[in-house]
Amino acid sequence: MNIKHLSIILALCLATIAAHANNITISNVSITGQNNSQKFKLVQFDISWDNSWRVDYGPNNWDAAWVFVKYRRKSDNTWHHATLHYVDGTGSGDGHTEPANSNIASTNDNGSGGAHGVFIHRTDLGQGTVTYTGARLRWNYGVDGLGDGDNVELAVMGIEMVYVPQGSFYVGSSGFDAGTFYTHPTISNPYQITSEAAITVGTTAGNLYYATGYGDQLGPIPVGFPKGYAATYCMKYEITQGQYVTFLNRLIYAQQVTRTAVLPTSAAGTAAMTTGTLYRNGIDIMTPGVVSSTSAVYACNLDNDTIYDEANDGQSIACNWLSWADVAAYLDWAALRPMTELEFEKFGRGNQNPVANEYAWGSTQRYGAQSILNPGLNTEITCCGENSVFNVGSAASVQGPMRSGNFAQMATTRAQSGASYYGIMELSGNLNERPVTVGHPTGRDFSGNGDGLLSNTGNANYPWWPGTNAVGVGSRGGGWNLNDALMRLSDRLQAAFTDDIRGGGYGGRGVRLAP
């Protein structure tokens, strides 16, 4: 999500920012309809993205944009999460304006009057680019402690999501996957999840179970732990480098210290997350910060020259070198949450019967990327019809993650594009996902969505999430630097393995329960 500044000061004392992300554009941001008595304004914008769909067959789902708003007083450097309006079922509506053929669904985060964001999606069946003009969100600025004439800068953000319908599904398969889930006592029988009720783990017939060494084999998995049965939205793509730059540029100095690998005071051109552009991460410091007072400005610079955010600077490449704490902080800031390892399998397999040794695209066939065309551009692809990024065991292996969604072309099938049953991209390969595990008590205590707020030191601060030490978190899905077996949908080799470091093969993505 590469934010562009608009030099507009509105009559209502706000400057606005338009957002660009991987195939999503938010533009023409303005403020209208200020109501001083009820303390709200209407945030108006246009939004469009490519490769949108809504189908009434197969997965029977659609994609969407998760839209949220950040603001800051011009008198300070701290960005805050805007409170959007919410009225439950019997009210007069959420106060938002839906463009033709679209739906705006707000989330009930703080009861009536409090939403951290909205989902915007098409109401018509079809596929292709969507463009919605004149969307309006009611922002309850009074709830956020602002006065009628406060001088504020505003940013509207959008992240592409995929709707995963409510329904039963299986975890585990009858293949060779390490630590796979099964229905005790027969290891070849997958386990079916039919509700969000608590799940008993143990050696009684019919219980969920898995082999020693892949978690503590204890339970129960409580009611509050997201199991994948409920209707959910999942990020269509892994967090991109452009999105992480946008995040960094909305943090205060002390938060930037925590969320990068080098001090924000480092010289312009210094790699922010690793050394140089190691393994295709091009995030640099563009303007150094000042200790404790002024945030650094970050930008993408994959080609390692002195010109930042060029078209070939890798904004749409999946962001590696992310620790668990980095992923959790980004998701809390965006009012999303981490996925669980049960959801990971639902997102890949859907309601289909498991296939032994399958990848997220439902088959056992995989073709690893060995070269890159249009490197760093938003059109980056592989040369020869590959469908995944993993270590193919030769010098020809791609040395780093690729552009999110690069395998999906106009006429590709699910298997050719590396897509999950619901259309989620790169669940197998590219970068290791960081789901919350059922194999540790800290993981099983997980629940709750992010609220858009971080601690002063830049960490996620939701009390029911695993902490910065990554205890209760594992990894699933494999990545560019790992063998193909780890890409299998039910492989749990590292599902409960604690690793809190930044690594060249680690990324992440977020989810949220559907409204």
345: helix, strand or coil: helix
- The pLDDT, as a whole number, for residue 93 is 67
33: helix, strand or coil: strand
Structure tokens at 488: 């299998």
Q: Is residue 442 scored above 80 in pLDDT? A: yes
Q: Is residue 494 scored above 70 in pLDDT? A: yes
How far from chain centre, in Å, is Cα 264?
A: 25
Q: Is residue 322 scored above 90 in pLDDT? A: yes
Residues 6+ away with beta carbon under 8 Å from 497: 474, 475
Q: Is residue 110 scored above 80 in pLDDT? A: no
125: phi then psi, degrees, rounded to nearest 5: -75, 145
Average pLDDT estimate for 242-254:
98
Cis peptide upstream of residue 185 (ω within 30 degrees of 0): yes
| Confidence band, pLDDT 50/70/90 cuts, at residue 22 | low
- The pLDDT, as a whole number, for residue 14 is 40
- The pLDDT, as a whole number, for residue 277 is 87
- Which DSSP state fits 88? -
Q: What is the dihedral of CA 154, 292, 330, 297, to 10 degrees?
A: 60
CA 109 to CA 107: how far, in whole Å?
6
Total-model pTM: 0.95
Q: Residue 514: is it exposed, middle or buried by C-beta count within 10 angstroms (0-12/13-18/19+)?
A: middle
Q: Is residue 423 scored above 50 in pLDDT? A: yes
Closest CA to 456 of 203, 217, 258: 258
pLDDT > 70: percent of the chain: 94
CA atoms within 13 A on the CB side of 231: 9
- The pLDDT, as a whole number, for residue 191 is 98
| Confidence band, pLDDT 50/70/90 cuts, at residue 56 | very high
Average pLDDT, the chain: 93
Q: Is residue 208 scored above 50 in pLDDT? A: yes
| Confidence band, pLDDT 50/70/90 cuts, at residue 77 | confident
Per DSSP, what are the bridge partners of residue 69? 156
Q: Is residue 178 scored above 80 in pLDDT? A: yes
| Confidence band, pLDDT 50/70/90 cuts, at residue 16 | very low
Residues 6+ away with beta carbon under 8 Å from 70: 79, 80, 81, 82, 154, 155, 157, 250, 452
CA 285 to CA 298: how far, in whole Å?
5
CA 422 to CA 233: how far, in whole Å?
10
- The pLDDT, as a whole number, for residue 5 is 31
Residues 6+ away with beta carbon under 8 Å from 400: 279, 280, 281, 317, 320, 480, 504
Degrees to nearest 5, angle at CA 254 with 253 and 255: 90
CA 153 to CA 14: how far, in whole Å?
5
Taking only the tens place, the pLDDT of each residue in 399-418 is 999 999 999 987 889 999 99
Q: Is residue 99 scored above 50 in pLDDT? A: yes
Residues 6+ away with beta carbon under 8 Å from 411: none
Q: Is residue 268 scored above 60 in pLDDT? A: yes
Q: Is residue 133 scored above 90 in pLDDT? A: yes
Closest CA to 229 of 206, 197, 260, 251: 197
| Confidence band, pLDDT 50/70/90 cuts, at residue 316 | very high
Average pLDDT estimate for 95-107:
95
- The pLDDT, as a whole number, for residue 19 is 43
Q: Which CATH class is domain 166-240+316-515?
A: alpha beta
Q: Residue 395: is it exposed, middle or buried by C-beta count within 10 angstroms (0-12/13-18/19+)?
A: exposed
Structure tokens at 335: 């009012």
Task: Report the range of poorest mean pLDDT among 15-19, 20-24, 47-51, 276-280.
Answer: 15-19
| Confidence band, pLDDT 50/70/90 cuts, at residue 21 | very low
Structure tokens at 19: 């957002």
Average pLDDT estimate for 206-219:
98
Is the distance from CB of 2 to CB of 242 less than 8 angstroms? Answer: yes
3-state SS string over 476-498? ECCCCCCCHHHHCCCCCCCCCCC
Q: Where are the domains of the chain?
A: 2-164, 166-240+316-515, 241-315
Taking only the tens place, the pLDDT of each residue in 338-397 is 999 999 999 999 999 999 999 999 999 999 999 999 999 999 999 888 999 999 987 778
Beta strand 152-164 pairing with 14-21: parallel
- The pLDDT, as a whole number, for residue 48 is 97
